[in-house]
Structures are given as structure tokens and as C-alpha cells.
Structure 1
Amino acid sequence: MAEFMESETKTPAQIPEELPILPLRNTIAYPFLVLPLSVGIPRSIQLIEDALQGDRLIGLVAMKDPTIETPMPGEVYEVGTVATIHRVSRGPDNSMQVVVEGIERFRVEEWTQTEPYLKARIALAPEIVEPDVELDALKRSLQDLTREVVALSPHLPEEVSKFLAQVEEPRHLLYLVAANMRLSVEEGQKILEADDIKEKYHLLLTRLLREKEVLELEQKIQSEAKEEMEKAQREYYLRQQLKAIQKELGEE
């Protein structure tokens, strides 16, 4: 299994106006985060190989319909994330395990190529962040709510809350939480596409509030089911004891 060496992360100033575009199935790529990808479609493999021969930069966009084998313009979202390829491992079937790191949000300005893979002229679209009291309150609310969701979620380690408490930059915090929560592609894309950082926070907070309510309800249902099961077990045990006593007394 061949493995490529890690590359240096590019800055937005080093990102060209035209990029190869890799459609993602059931996945949203966010800026600043490392993401592992499985690549097996021939044209996607060629895209990665070509990028490795160049600046290792690609554009990542989510597919609107994950069942389409080779999506074309109009079948993928046009707001995505520029990413740099850090590492690639090849499998025996020529598939690739690719590790990428998101750099910045972008919008497709014009599709310039469809074969052998998609290419587009892009414009970087970083959110404008103006720190103020409202943004500080939104950050704190997101950290607090995430802590509550993590406490209720069996699939999320407690270390997540401790780590998030140390993240100060508003965009980093937002995307880190979004990437670790169970969001649908549509929900994640809506957050990615919002230009206003505060709107992004409101969207994510609304989704997390619903997740908290669902988790609390699940916990209540499980607790009630456990109580019913324990009650049934106690009643069965008492009936068995009663039968044993009646047998000893010759009442059966």
C-alpha cells in the first residue's frame, strides 16, 4: 500500500481561481477541519492523482442526490470548501483513502470542465466576523448546549466538551460543532451556505436544541422501559416464590 507524504497547508492567498471539484456523497466538508475520504470512482481517482502532481488543492462540494454515480453541474451544491490533500493511501483495488484539510469556503462562479472530472472557476467566500456582545453570547450558548448534548449522547466522548471550551475563534468553534453533530446533508449545507456568522450560529443552535429534546425523550423512554422490565421481573420472581410456598404447604 503506497502512501504519500504530507503537504503543507495552503493559505487563501495561494488558492487559484480554478479548481478541480470533487463531489462528496452524504458528507459536508467544512473549513479548518481534517476529513478522511474514501475515493473509488475512476474519475475521482484521476482527479486526486492530477491534484497530487500539482498544488494538491481541490474543491469539495456535497451531492444533492447521493445515488447519482457521476454528478454533473446542477447535481451538486455550488457552495463548498477548498481543501488541501495531506495524505493518500492506495488499496489493493486501486481505491484511495484520502485525508484532506479544509481551508476556506467558496462559491462556484462558472463550471469550466465536466470531463474527465469537474472543474470550476471559484470565488472564496469567507464569512465576515465582527466580534460583539451578541456573538460572544452565541458562542457561549453553543458551548453550553453542546456540553448538554454530549452528556446525553452515548456516541460522543466527554472530551469533546472540554476541547470545545478551549476554542475561541467563532468560525472554528461553529464548524467543529457542526462536524461532530448528527446533521443531515441539507442541514449542514444550509449552515455552510449562510454568509452571516450569526445566522450560522442560530441555525446550529436551533438544530442542537431539537437534538437535545430528542435525546432527552429517548432517555425517558429507555428509563420507563427499564422500569417496566424490572417490574415484570419482580412480579415474575414473586409469583415463582408464591408457587414454591404453596407447593411446600401442599396447596397445589
Structure 2
Amino acid sequence: MASFLPDDEALRLVPRVSDLTMADIPAEIGLFPLSGVLLLPRGKLPLNVFEPRYVALVEDALASQRLIGMIQPLWGEEDEEEVEKAPPLYSIGCLGRITSFTERADGTFAITLSGVARFRILRETGLHRGYRQARIDVSSFVGDLSEIPSEPFDREKLLESLRRYFRQKGLSARWSIIEHMEDDTLLVTLPMICPFPPAEKQALLDAGSLTDRVRVLQMLLDLSGPEEEGPPS
């Protein structure tokens, strides 16, 4: 079975970026379109950055507020020619703050982004050093800067659906780590690590609250359907 979960360090959530307020978030941000990759507020996302335009994006972010706009293209990487032509983007992404980085000898980066708040694209403003920029609005997502807990949910049902989903996908997990996560940490970690298709990842990002995210996550896990019974012995 393939192992999908990151190591223990990648599973930890960094402390909330408490020194940032809505007023600190710039009106314009550099974008990092990446299909099938989800960053959520208070989540932690490791990335290897090697393409020149995104190396430039990281350099510029490090020189200012360390903020990058993670967002998904409306289609995946299967049409590389179209991707190179700047594909349309989903309207909602998530701001990530670079909280650790390593610059390699060849000028590429290994970085970790900590999710700050979601944003909505108002309009793109062109290219800068090869990467896309956009004016954004975060006013609809002010709650992302606060730790608002979810309403009570059926944790055991969610975990059982997750186990079934992983079995069907041939994935392994360190269940002792998952089972001991606090509820709110669980609801950030699971959507980010589950290998859902891009549109389903976007549905989790678009969910208005942690409570809404629980409903979407449970639905997506259950869409895998019941496990097939083995042949009679």
C-alpha cells in the first residue's frame, strides 16, 4: 500500500499567525496556481519551488510580507499547452505566509506556507517577473483569522468513513496520530491530505465554516461508496 500522509512535522499546525489582521493583508497579491493542492487557514503546506517565475514569487514575498496566494486552475495539468497560456482560475484561494524556507545552491526553494485567510479574486492585474498578480478581497473571510470551533459532529462516523476511503484507495495512515488530533486540527488536516480531485478540494475550501466543511468532507468520503464484500469462504 502507498503511504499518503506526510511526516509528523508536516502534520503539525503552526501557531495561528496572530500578528496579522485584515488591515495587514495587501490589496494585491502574487498568485501560485497549483491544481489539486489545498491550503486551508491554519494549515501547513510544504512546497518545492523550482520554476523560475515562482522562484521570483517567493523572492518577492520574502522581501515583503511573506504572503502568497495559493489558488487552483479551473482544469488540471493534463493540458500542458493550455496551462502555459495562463488558465482561468477558481475565484477563491487561500493566502499562505512563508513561515520557513531553505534556499538551495541552485536558487530553488523549499518553503512551508501557513494558511492565513481565504481570499476572493476581484481581477487579475497582469504579470510581474513572470508570475500572475491579482487584486483580492478578504472581507468575506474575516472569521478565518479567528479560531472559531466547529459545532459538535460525529467524529467516529467521520473517521470510519476515512478508514474506508483509505482502504479503497490503497493508502496507509498513522491512525494513532489522526485519532489523537483535536477536532479543529483534524478538520484542517484531513481535507489537505486526502487525494480528492481538484473540484472536490475546491468545495472544501469554499465551505463557509468548519461546520460546513465537516458536511462536505463527510459527503466526499461517503461518495466512495460501500466496500465490496470479498468472495464467500
Band the TM-score falls in, shorter-chain normalisation? 0.7 to 0.9
1:17 shift after superposition: 1.9
CA distance in 1 between partners of 2:192 and 2:154 (Å): 18
Structure 2 residue 27 is matched with structure 1 residue 11:
no
Candidates 122, 136, 140, aligned match of 2:136: 122
- For the 8 Å contact 1:63–1:71, the answer to whether it is kept is no
TM-score, normalised with respect to structure 2: 0.73
RMSD of aligned residue pairs (Cα, Å): 3.2
Q: Alignment partner of 1:50: what SS?
A: helix
Letter in 1 for 2:193: N
Identify the range of structure 1 (58-67 vs 197-206) with the bigger mean alpha-carbon deviation: 197-206
Letter in 1 for 2:120: R
Indicate the residue corresponding to 2:158 in structure 1: 142
Q: Deviations over 1:7-39 (max 9, x none)?
A: x93524322222111111331222211111122
1:106 shift after superposition: 1.1
Provide closer, same or farther for how the CA distance between residues 93 and 130 of structure 1 changes in structure 2, counting only shifts above 3 A: closer
TM-score, normalised with respect to structure 1: 0.68
After TM superposition, the structure 1 = structure 2 runs for residues 202-221 of structure 1, keeping only pairs within 5 Å, are 202-211=215-224, 213=226, 216-217=227-228, 220-221=229-230
Provide closer, same or farther for how the CA distance between residues 197 and 161 of structure 1 changes in structure 2, counting only shifts above 3 A: closer
- The higher radius of gyration belongs to 1
Indicate the residue corresponding to 1:82 in structure 2: 95
Candidates 55, 68, 83, aligned match of 1:58: 68
Letter in 2 for 1:99: T
CA distance in 1 between partners of 2:198 and 2:96 (Å): 18
Candidates 110, 114, 139, aligned match of 1:97: 110
Indicate the residue corresponding to 2:33 in structure 1: 23
Provide closer, same or farther for how the CA distance between residues 88 and 162 of structure 1 changes in structure 2, counting only shifts above 3 A: same
- For the 8 Å contact 2:35–2:198, the answer to whether it is kept is no
Structure 2 residue 156 is matched with structure 1 residue 156:
no
CA distance in 2 between partners of 1:156 and 1:101 (Å): 23
1:49 shift after superposition: 0.5
Q: Alignment partner of 1:187: what SS?
A: helix
- For the 8 Å contact 1:51–1:57, the answer to whether it is kept is yes
Provide closer, same or farther for how the CA distance between residues 127 and 71 of structure 1 changes in structure 2, counting only shifts above 3 A: farther
| Structure with higher RCO (Cα < 8 A, 6+ apart) | 2
Candidates 182, 194, 201, aligned match of 1:181: 194
Indicate the residue corresponding to 2:7 in structure 1: none
CA distance in 2 between partners of 1:212 and 1:142 (Å): 14
- For the 8 Å contact 2:27–2:135, the answer to whether it is kept is yes
Percent pairwise identity: 22
Candidates 44, 50, 73, aligned match of 1:40: 50
